[in-house]
Structure 1
Amino acid sequence: MASFSWIKEKKCHLIDRMKFLEENVHLKGLNNSWCFGCDISSKFKEIVMSKGLFEQYYASDQVCGAWELVKAAKNITLLTHSNADGDGISACAALDYILRKMGKNTETIYPDKPEFNYKRQPTNLLINKHCQMPQLIIVCDVANYERLYWPKEFHNIPMINIDHHISNSLNGKFNFINAEASSASEELYVVLHYWDANLIDGYVAECLLFGLLYDSQIFQIHPLQPRTLKIAADLMLLGADLFKLEKELLSNNNHKTFVFWGKILSNIKVAKNGTAAWVCITKKDLLDNDMQLRSLIGFNNLLSQICDVDVTLLFYEKEDGKIKVSLRSKTTDVNAVAKLFGGGGHTNAAGILTAKSMDQIVKEITEKL
């Protein structure tokens, strides 16, 4: 059982944090000893269901059942999706750090090598294989089995599923899914608070805030929930440096990258009805300009700022020849469009990976808009 008695030990910024939580979650009158996890009082339920950080309330048997699995398991495997991104990687890095401090044996498995490198990574990382046989699997930021490393040996192992995709179809023993969360990292913050608030130290806060910033496009996604901003503020009070993390996301492009972006933008296409705009990038484009896929970090966010179209699409060719499509929108449900082509995601941001040719997939998708 976790309580807020730990706040007294850390003083300084955590005193400010208590004031923040009192003002935003209305915890006055609970004597600083209210509990998450396995001692969820009716008063706490009333608070989280009404106004505060935790709009989505998880039943106590779900919270405690998942936490008991974590405590009982010695070997725990963490999974995230293919082409792992800043959110899934950050959530796994936070959990890996926590579990190792608890004395667990951990493995983190990506189905393939990520296109981009991120500063915070799990320690025992494997690509499309496993070495240990886990007693528990925790999946972060994965909407379906097709994007998961999922050998038959894992099929009967209990799974905890932490995600924010509206299209999530995983069948975990315990599922913590909130489509209104900006990221899996945001929902992991909530789950960790239910389990034990002491688990979130400065490093974990840094991982979670990076994941939140990555998937929220630094608070630019629509719609952005007030809870996301409150949680970001709390993570800052716990020691995460928002300015440093924002700089990590935005300041990795040299002048050659911006010149390349300019060339890409000069080839932008706009649908005849004016509803969509898109660009296409091939392996040859990257090679001719001495660029790598990592040079595209942030480009689709720039593209989404075009004000006079509703949907923007970035088509790019991966090293294996498959086409990755990133869809962004202001009002159109691009998740519904992505699902038609085996992809998925969120209402205003989704992705597709296909073996179809560039010309074919561009034609088929744009005809659906």
Structure 2
Amino acid sequence: VDKLRYNIIDKKLKIIITPKEGKLDPSQLTFDEGKPPFDLILMLDAANIEQLGEMYDQNTELFFNLPTINIDHHASNEYFGKINLVDLTATSTCEILVALFESFGEKTIDETIATCLLTGIITDTGSFQNSNTTPKSLSIAAQLIGLGAHQQEIIQHVFKTKPLSMLKLWGKALTDIQRDAKHSLVWTTLNHKDFEEANATKEDTTGLINDLLSSAPDTNIVLLLSEKEPRMIHGSIRTREGIDAAKIAGLFGGGGHTGAAGFVLQDKDIKEAEKFVLKQIRTYQEREIKGGKVE
């Protein structure tokens, strides 16, 4: 080889080799992937590896070749890491991280980190309104505020600041809300067109089921079905005490907590998903009532 140079065009690497004499035959060239510039994969708040979505799908080999640490608090966790730190008594993964960071040393948690950790605890407990709130979560929250966490800033950004696109989307969801008194069920749906018309993002459903739908009286199960991508349905479930939301989500391959859970359905439009999910939930309710497990 006389010269070797490269350039990048349209995000593609072009390698130019000039031989000292003659020409190179393609059979003389081989390509090997270099060592990935990572030492470890850390996975937080995921019950199974499929929840990592495209990050896993596009880097499957990386997940097999590198050490993986799975930190989570969901009862449905599949312990898919090479190292698994799963605490089912924790109200959030951030609660687990507080203890982990403390083990690193006294000055690990500064104001910024404390604010981030408190945000996770507040959002997972619904600002300490959900039934999963424990004395430990309240104690850790107080500890984080003592370390400088900006609690009022979190409340302002998470609960009191909503873009117009989100409000439009929520309005559509509330307009279409339905109730099945026999099965103590309230639900609503959002199709992909609703997101486009409201100019809303996938994240704009955040808080809808907790802040509004769960306020419905005389209701044991609240369901939100959202077609965030064409023929990709995201389901969110909230339940009253005595009904396991994670078990219901498990009917559709999902999981979560006793009072809050979720799932994803692929290759179904919103109407197909609505019919399918409602049938399964009603059957579940009737079976539980017959067994004397639901009052």
- TM-score (normalised: structure 2): 0.74
**Partners of 1:260 and 1:273 in 2: CA distance:** 28
Deviates more, 1:256-265 or 1:191-200: 256-265
What displacement does 1:297 show? Answer: 2.5
Report the counterpart of residue 299 of structure 1 in structure 2: 208
1:339 aligns with 2:243: no
- Give matches, 1:93-172, under 5 Å: 132-148=36-52, 149-150=55-56, 151-172=60-81
Contact 1:300–1:314, Cα closer than 8 Å, also in 2: yes
Size of the alignment, in residue pairs? 239
**Partners of 1:334 and 1:340 in 2: CA distance:** 10
Report the counterpart of residue 177 of structure 1 in structure 2: 86
1:267–1:171 CA distance, 2 compared to 1 (3 A) = closer
Report the counterpart of residue 217 of structure 1 in structure 2: 126
SS in 2 for 1:324: strand
**Partners of 2:39 and 2:164 in 1: CA distance:** 48
| Cα RMSD (Å) | 2.1
SS in 2 for 1:187: helix
- 2:222 pairs with one of 306, 312, 325: 312
Contact 1:176–1:191, Cα closer than 8 Å, also in 2: no
SS in 2 for 1:206: helix
Task: Supply the AA of the counterpart residue of 1:261.
Answer: W
- Give matches, 1:63-74, under 5 Å: none
Task: Supply the AA of the counterpart residue of 1:144.
Answer: N
After superposition, the C-alpha distances for 1:243-263 in whole angstroms (9 at most, x for unaligned) are: 111111012225674455334
SS in 2 for 1:278: strand
**Partners of 1:295 and 1:146 in 2: CA distance:** 22
1:321–1:365 CA distance, 2 compared to 1 (3 A) = closer
| Higher RCO (Cα < 8 Å, 6 or more apart) | 1
1:201–1:271 CA distance, 2 compared to 1 (3 A) = same
1:251 aligns with 2:155: no
**Partners of 1:255 and 1:146 in 2: CA distance:** 32
1:321–1:238 CA distance, 2 compared to 1 (3 A) = same
Runs of 4+ in 1 over 4 A off after TM superposition: 254-257
Contact 2:49–2:80, Cα closer than 8 Å, also in 1: no
SS in 2 for 1:172: coil
What displacement does 1:184 show? Answer: 0.9
Contact 1:139–1:162, Cα closer than 8 Å, also in 2: yes
Contact 1:145–1:170, Cα closer than 8 Å, also in 2: no
**Partners of 2:181 and 2:153 in 1: CA distance:** 42
1:189 aligns with 2:98: yes
What displacement does 1:223 show? Answer: 2.6
What displacement does 1:164 show? Answer: 0.8
- The unaligned stretches of length 5 or more in structure 2 are 1-34, 282-295
Contact 1:271–1:366, Cα closer than 8 Å, also in 2: no
Task: Supply the AA of the counterpart residue of 1:236.
Answer: I
Report the counterpart of residue 351 of structure 1 in structure 2: 262
**Partners of 1:218 and 1:327 in 2: CA distance:** 18
What displacement does 1:229 show? Answer: 0.6
1:367 aligns with 2:279: yes
- The unaligned stretches of length 5 or more in structure 1 are 1-130
- Give matches, 1:281-300, under 5 Å: 281-300=190-209
**Partners of 2:239 and 2:224 in 1: CA distance:** 12
* Percent of aligned positions that are identical: 34
Task: Supply the AA of the counterpart residue of 1:366.
Answer: L
1:191–1:311 CA distance, 2 compared to 1 (3 A) = same
Contact 2:92–2:124, Cα closer than 8 Å, also in 1: yes
Task: Supply the AA of the counterpart residue of 2:69.
Answer: I
After superposition, the C-alpha distances for 1:157-207 in whole angstroms (9 at most, x for unaligned) are: 322221111111133343221122121111111111233232111111111
**Partners of 1:303 and 1:364 in 2: CA distance:** 21
1:207 aligns with 2:116: yes
- TM-score (normalised: structure 1): 0.60
